Structure 1
């Protein structure tokens, strides 16, 4: 106490007053009611992620007797657990789920277990191996350790919670609710993953040799397994390496990385080293000149005229990051860097899906061209018959000209299809980053083309598998850190500056120590006191950007779920349509054969032959288009699930 008292007495009174005044100002800044920081607005919670996909929006898939086996079509035997009901051709069930009920509404007491016992290859029981949406899984409050580990990894990426609040006051509760909902959703379905989470589209046979059956979610399948066409795999490889859009995105990732690197240096000391030289001539009749004239550098030696100024030194400046403002800014930049990486990964999956979709469109155009050529050959045969009947006096010129016009119409259609082929090929070439050239492809029966079986898993898996959802999640984290950075601007900032060097009027005296040695050190504590409008505006804008990021995350999750349901439901509905159209095509082919024979025997008019041939060709074209849409739906479903291994 004695030493402290003596030390205080030795301090000049002016310095005491300044110290007391600084302490009062800092105390007012730190203890004022929140430094006048406005309150944060909170985000509204989004819809909870369902525990299972709602295929076809809850309505049973359309099916008919002609598509089922004979036993399933004729069986109306009551089972002990329920009843079996078969739909007639054209009967469509339009009932939907009762959203408030614990079990779905199934018309006419359709029993799912009995449905599967029928072994009907076209039934939805084979399409969906685990009807978790028809038989909801009971809730289980047990925690899943795998989910705990994943959440810990996310928290580790965001940094130490003891140092900062990454998502701000407006998102903490929302994040807790999301974590609890996510834990609950995944835990409810975890016990059902062995069978009840697998969605089988029945597109192509399963291959146990490559382990496809072992995957419960198709997103786990590498692209080399899902796309088993060597031509398509080669195109995908060229696209990933040569696509200009992906190269542009790679540079954006590099820019974001550089921004993170730059931010990491802002909370470290800045050290500069410099040297300077100059001369100054002062007037004799000025204060400085008169003073210099009266002084001497050394006994008997006046100041040089002009007066030189030489200096060498180092300066240090350092803003002490006492509120984690600079570190949070660096963490926000790091989150945006990771989000940019995930954004590029998502674009990669979209580009790969577009290449695959255009590839199957090429196969469809080839099949259309083959169908058109086969139709032209059939019509040419009918034209020869009409010409022969006319020459024999049993026909007219009208029939000849109608058949000839029909042949010419279809021949001209081939050129249009050829143009479409060129455009689709060049679209693939553009995606692959190469100039126009032919695109190699397999030669196979397009309608019977098979792809890998799809497994959808559970909806909550989209949070880890979809790159766009991971990107949106990192944007939310970055926006929360921006709020913390804006909040720190309300508090005082502490800066330290220091310098060390040599300064003299002549180079001969420059490095004389201690005569030419100069040094200094200062600290500055500055905080806003009056007129905080700009700071409040930035803080409110950061809060609004945070809410935008949260709502964008909710929208991305919702959009991903809807994409999966739409595409996989489309696969099944189009599969049912293809099976019916195949039977329709068989009937039309038989009608064309019968019409040709009747026309040759003069028992049918040429109009009937023309109509039969035209309807058969149109049915083939529609079947090809439907198959193309189904394959595109499979590709898009694989992409929507987050598949591709990117």
Structure 2
């Protein structure tokens, strides 16, 4: 019987060479050949080749990313989803093979005399032991293989979703960390400025007490102090909230071995080449995820087409039957069953046609989603390149403004203390310098987060690997 089942399986495999899945063709990318935000770079190394540890130079940020990758709950759910889709694929793949079961049964039944052939009560016994398969569908037209192919693509899509989740997590941790550090810098600047304003107010108050300064000068100095105190409270609150946001992304508390971070003006990030728009199709996890989902929808069309054709299922077993348990395996007790079944759909009120139409519409939906994911990726990269081209000039101009404002404040203070100018000029210089310093920190934060987002948009942040000086990709370290 085992040889018979193997022969049937081989025969079915030879017959089931037909597939009704449409030939897959990748849709044309609905974007231009070059980025509008800046020139493309043709370096052999792309953003996806540079691991996040190589991109982030700040040791404190590297440690935080390590913790987040180990403890973040969104990433943990994404990994579990991969395992779930893998199990679903294995279940669907198992449908292609016959399920062989062994059954041992036994029954004893008393039959009343008026129902028995002898007119006397009897007891009937039957024992059986069989090995076989039940209702195994022979996949002649590829319905099961189409479903298996769709399940495989869904599994691959879940892997890309996990990569996309990790990329987004790395970027989120970096942006939250940079915001935290920027607000810390703003808090320290506010403290220093408040100390300066308080000193100026104390001098003005003493001048007022001896009749040199006016009451208006005193109140103007006080407004600067109180305004800066309000700003100090604001940034104290923001720093605490920023830390909470970082902890949430980490999925754990701040590590005790957190190293000292670099200054905000230091080289916190490595510059990454942009590459060509076509690189996004091969490196962006969300685009690859959308394409796998499109392939799964394409495979579902094959399953819907196969439903129009006859399906063949097979039930077969062999074993032994006996009225006595002791005679179950004696000679002459052998039994076998061979029961093929053909199911031919004749009338189903258009359900099969509607199912095929639905699978085609779903494929068109996934095509649109795939194209949209490319367009979004293209826009994100173009925006990042446009920001990269302008932020350096903006920061240079802002630094020059801070220097000029500091000179203006120094001159205004000297002129006021010597009685040459009024306090309103000094107050204006103080506020202008403080505002320029605040804006410089904000501009630096915007530049850094823009670079992080560009790195993410180019498909970087997935693997912890480095790139050597000669631009050769090395083995992942993590």
TM superposition score normalised by structure 1: 0.65
The structural deviation recorded for 1:442 is 4.5
* Aligned match for 2:293, one of 475, 492, 504: 475
Aligned to 1:239: 68
State the partner residue of 1:387. Answer: 205
SS at match of 1:521: strand
| Per-residue deviation, 1:249 | 1.0
Q: Deviations over 1:564-605 (max 9, x none)?
A: 001221232232222211112222111111111111112222
Q: Structure 1 residue 55 and structure 2 residue 65: aligned?
A: no
Q: Alignment length, in residue pairs?
A: 441
Residue of structure 2 aligned with 1:609, choices 412, 426, 443:
426
2:30/2:371 contact within 8 Å kept: no
Find 1:463's aligned residue among 269, 281, 296. Answer: 281
Whether the 8 Å CA contact 1:479–1:549 is kept in 2: the answer is yes
Whole-Å Cα distance in 1 between the matches of residues 436 and 263 of structure 2?
A: 16
CA distance in 2 between counterparts of 1:393 and 1:437 reads 57
Q: Which whole-Å CA distance do the structure 2 matches of 1:248 and 1:377 have between them? A: 49
Residue aligned with 2:94, SS: coil
**2-structure distance, mates of 1:43, 1:645:** 27
SS in 2 for 1:281: strand
Out of 111, 115, 118, the residue aligned to residue 282 of structure 1 is 111
CA drift of 1:461 comes to 0.6
CA drift at 1:440:
4.7
Offset of residue 262 of structure 1: 1.0
Distance in 2 (CA, whole Å) between partners of 1:263 and 1:410 is: 66
CA spacing shift, 1:437–1:45, aligned 2, 3 Å: closer
In structure 2, the CA distance between the partners of 1:399 and 1:603, relative to structure 1 (3 Å rule), is: same
- Please state whether the residue corresponding to 1:278 is helix, strand or coil: strand
The DSSP-based 3-state class of the residue aligned with 1:306 is strand
Change (3 A) 1:312 1:450: closer
Separation (CA, whole Å) in 2 of partners of 1:423 and 1:307: 80
> Which whole-Å CA distance do the structure 2 matches of 1:376 and 1:422 have between them?
20
In the TM superposition, what is the alpha-carbon distance from 1:282 to its structure 2 partner? 2.4
Q: In the TM superposition, what are the counterparts of 1:89-238 in structure 2 within 5 Å?
A: 131=39, 197-198=41-42, 215-238=44-67
2:216 & 2:256 partners in 1: Cα distance? 43
Instruction: Confirm or deny that 1:401 pairs with 2:200.
Output: no
Deviation, structure 1 residue 368: 0.6
The CA distance in 1 between the partners of 2:181 and 2:297, in whole Å, is 46
In structure 2, which of residues 224, 232, 248 is the aligned counterpart of residue 430 of structure 1?
248
CA distance in 2, matches of 1:313, 1:246: 48
CA separation of 1:329/1:642 partners in 2, compared to 1, >3 Å: closer, same or farther?
A: same
Contact 1:215 1:455 in 2 (8 A): no
2:125 aligned to 296, 305, 308, which one? 308
Q: CA deviation at 1:630?
A: 0.9
Alpha-carbon contact 1:369-1:414 (below 8 Å) kept: yes
For structure 1, list consecutive stretches of 5 or more residues without a partner in the other structure: 1-36, 57-130, 133-196, 199-213, 295-301
* TM-fit CA distance, 1:380: 2.0
Consecutive unaligned residues in structure 2, runs of 5 or more: 1-19, 464-478
* Partner SS for 1:551: helix
Contact 2:61–2:261 (CA under 8 A) maintained in structure 1? no
- Relative to 1, partners in 2 of residues 1:44 and 1:316: Cα closer, same or farther, differing over 3 Å? closer
Residue equivalent to 1:77: none
From the superposition, tell whether residues 627 and 503 of structure 1 become closer, same or farther in structure 2 (CA, over 3 Å): same
Q: CA deviation at 1:217?
A: 2.3
What is the deviation of 1:371?
Answer: 1.5
Matched with 1:377 is 195
Alpha-carbon contact 1:560-1:640 (below 8 Å) kept: yes
**DSSP 3-state at the match of 2:133:** strand
| Distance in 2 between residues matched to 1:581 and 1:254, nearest whole Å | 51
Would the aligned equivalents of 1:363 and 1:441 in 2 still touch at CA under 8 Å? no
- Give the secondary-structure state (helix, strand or coil) at the position aligned to 1:285: coil
Compute the TM-score of the two structures, normalised by the length of structure 2: 0.86
User: In 2, distance between residues paired with 1:442 and 1:575?
Assistant: 26
Higher relative contact order (CA 8 A, sep 6+): 2
Q: CA deviation at 1:232?
A: 0.8
Q: In structure 2, the residue corresponding to 1:495 is in which secondary structure?
A: strand
The reply to whether residue 356 of structure 1 matches residue 174 of structure 2 is yes
- CA distance in 1 between partners of 2:242 and 2:183 (Å): 9
Cross-structure match for 2:322: 504
Instruction: Provide the rounded CA distance (Å) in 2 between the counterparts of 1:54 and 1:431.
Output: 33
| Structure 1 moving runs of 4+ over 6 Å | 42-45, 436-439
Conserved in 2, the CA contact under 8 Å of 1:504 and 1:510? yes
Mapped partners of 2:212, 2:259: distance in 1: 48
Of 528-537 and 491-500, more deviation after overlay is shown by 528-537
Counterpart selection for 2:389 from 572, 576, 580:
572
Which residue of structure 2 aligns with residue 368 of structure 1?
186
Counterpart position of 2:83 = 254
Give the 5 Å matches for 1:480-491: 480-491=298-309
Residue 537 (structure 1) aligned with residue 354 (structure 2): yes
Corresponding position: 1:523 with 2:340: yes
**Does the residue aligned with 1:400 lie in a helix, a strand or coil?**
helix
Check the 8 A contact 2:143/2:302 in 1, yes or no: yes
Higher-Rg member (1/2): 1
**Counterpart position of 2:94:** 265
- The separation in 1 between residues aligned to 2:316 and 2:263, in whole angstroms, is 80
Q: Deviations over 1:187-206 (max 9, x none)?
A: xxxxxxxxxx25xxxxxxxx
CA contact (8 A) 1:447 1:623 kept: no
Answering whether residue 160 of structure 2 is matched by residue 342 of structure 1, we say: yes
Whether the 8 Å CA contact 1:217–1:457 is kept in 2: the answer is yes
Q: CA deviation at 1:313?
A: 1.5
Q: Structure 1 residues 559 and 479 mapped into 2: Cα distance closer, same or farther (>3 Å)?
A: same
